[in-house]
Amino acid sequence: MDIKVVGIGNRIMKDDSIGIKVLEELQEDLNNLKTQVIIGETDIEYTLNCINPGDYVIIVDSSFLGINPGEVCTFDLGKLKEFNHKGYSMHQMSLVKILSCFPTDNIKGSLITVEAGEIDFGLELSEELSKDFQQIKMKVLDEIKLKVEEVS
C-alpha cells in the first residue's frame, strides 16, 4: 500500500489554493515520511490516474464550513457521504466525491481541510491565511503524520 498526499484547489482563487501551497511547502517533509505528493489542482483525471488500487489517499483542500478561517479539520473519506450536501469543500463534484461516494479498488483515505477566509480571483492567500500560514502548514503536517502512523 502506498500513501499518497493530494493537494487540490484552484491557484487563481485565493484561499482555494491553500491545499496546493501547503503541500508544496511540505514536499521534503512528506518525502521523508515515504509518501508521494500529488499536486492535482483542479485536474481530477490526472489525480485519479495517479491513484492505484489499495492506496491510502490523504487529500488536502480548502473548505467552507462556516468555521474560523485557517481552522484545520480531518475527515475519513469513507464517512463523507453524509457531508456531500453540506459544502465541506469547494470541489463538490471532484476527487473527494468520487472517492467517498463511489469507492472502488479498495482505496481508503482522509480529507484534511483548511477553512478558507476568502474565495475570489487572486493569486495570493487572504490576509488571514497568509498571516497564519506557518501555523496552518504545521497543523496539516501533524494531521498527515497521524494518518501515516495509523496506516503504517
What does the domain layout of the chain look like in residue ranges? 3-151
pLDDT in tens, 90-138: 544 567 777 776 666 678 999 999 999 999 999 999 999 999 999 999 9
Q: Please report where in the chains the cell 490523504 appears, as a residue.
A: 58
The pTM is what? 0.90
Residue 84 burial (CB count, 10 A):
15
- CATH fold of the domain at 3-151: Rossmann fold (3.40.50)
Distance between the two ends of the chain, CA-based, in angstroms?
A: 9
Burial group, residue 25, by CB count within 10 angstroms (0-12, 13-18, 19+): middle
Residue 64 has, within 13 A of its CA and on its CB side, a CA count of 14
Query: Measured in whole angstroms, how far is the alpha carbon of residue 47 from the centre of its chain?
Result: 12
